[in-house]
Structure 1
Amino acid sequence: MQQDKHPDYHSVVFRDRAAGYAFLTRSTATSDQTIEWDDGETYPVVDVEISSESHPFYTGKARTVDTEGRIARFERRFGGGTPT
């Protein structure tokens, strides 16, 4: 493996400001801001707009698409008969 070709992979805290949630993981992301974590260590912190704690898909607040209404509208517009 060639040296100096890969980015620095280190521990980083990602913080979701909207949900008030933060998690520690490993990443190549960098930041000038730091935070002291529960283990007493200081890690770079990256603020994100959305995470699994605030994303509508994961929180169960996702919009449902009315596919039945769309199909009925298509059939009314273009004739819903089966081809013969």
Structure 2
Amino acid sequence: MRKDIHPNYQEVLFHDTNADVFFLTRSTVKTKSTREYEGSEYPYYPLDVSSASHPFYTGEQRKTSTEGRVASFNKRFGAFGGRKKAADTDAAE
């Protein structure tokens, strides 16, 4: 094997911040911070999503919208386009 061409393969502490779960595994990720875990100091890398918090792995269902994207957009921003709302036009007549 050639020297100085392989990345540093070391134990790294991953932290899923959504589920507040720690994983200790080996990785080549480069980190700037360290944290103590079970009596030893490890490089620390925070994660947003892992198998502990992802809906596919946890079995949690997300609430889906029953209305379409265009209807949702018009509901939020319809008044900004210069159009009057239906309630305003009915009151004016």
TM-score between the two structures when normalised by the length of structure 1: 0.69
Match of 2:54 in 1: 55
Which of structures 1 and 2 has the bigger CA Rg? 2
CA RMSD of aligned residues (A): 1.1
Give the Cα–Cα distance (whole angstroms) in 2 for the partners of residues 8 and 31 of structure 1. 11
1:46 aligns with 2:59: no
Give the secondary-structure state (helix, strand or coil) at the position aligned to 2:57.
helix
Letter in 1 for 2:53: S
TM-score between the two structures when normalised by the length of structure 2: 0.63
Identify unmatched segments of 5+ residues in structure 2. Answer: 63-93
Give the secondary-structure state (helix, strand or coil) at the position aligned to 2:6.
coil
Identify unmatched segments of 5+ residues in structure 1. Answer: 64-84
Match of 2:19 in 1: 19
Q: Number of aligned residue pairs: give it.
A: 62
Structure richer in helix, relative to its length:
2
